[in-house]
Homo-oligomer: A and B are copies of this chain.
């Protein structure tokens, strides 16, 4: 049952069987139907979740009501608003399931217990946040320096399963173009 998440974590640190036990005992299983909001703007994020199954979207709504998808999370990704979770301050983001989803979650309390009992987990979370930072930096650079068709190609490299799974306007809101223009891009690329 916990094979995936254990595999994910042991890429960063080694765990004894006892430690694996302690870890998985602290996880809460959360099963959520599609189209459910796990976090809304203004709320304080109380979870860090590992996606066992399903698909999630993290997005921001700007002053004009325009949605910007910051990232997706599918199987084997972690999802949270890290800043809101750590500093226990209101989030600017929405987090929403796009499919029926199964998560393993840590709350501030269980995460603290985990770090007390197995301090080397600090490393796991530091690596997660650094990866997050690097990914975001790359995304920013690409957004600024590349045209939409190139960004689309990189997108499907990063999330190969997403185009089959979610509505096209979510992809548009990730790429920062109109849904119509995603159609145009696809037609052009198919033509080659």
A146 to B144, CA, bound (A): 13
A86 to B131, CA, bound (A): 11
| Cβ-based interface call for A60 (8 A) | yes
- On whether the beta carbons of B176 and A60 are closer than 8 Å, the reply is no
Q: In the complex, how many residues of chain A place their beta carbon closer than 8 angstroms to a beta carbon of chain B?
A: 29
Within 8 A of B (CB), among A82-102: 82-83, 86-87, 92
Q: Which residues of B contact A86 (CB under 8 A)?
A: 126, 130
A145 to B143, CA, bound (A): 11
Q: Which residues of B contact A83 (CB under 8 A)?
A: 130, 133-134, 137
A129 to B126, CA, bound (A): 10
Distance in Å from the Cβ of A124 to the closest Cβ of chain B?
A: 13
- On whether the beta carbons of A140 and B139 are closer than 8 Å, the reply is yes
| Cβ-based interface call for A156 (8 A) | no
User: Contacts A86-B126, A126-B86, A129-B129 hold; do A62 and B134 have CB atoms under 8 A apart?
Assistant: no
- On whether the beta carbons of B140 and A136 are closer than 8 Å, the reply is yes
A144 to B143, CA, bound (A): 8
| Cβ-based interface call for A70 (8 A) | yes
Q: Which residues of B contact A133 (CB under 8 A)?
A: 82-83, 129, 132-133, 136
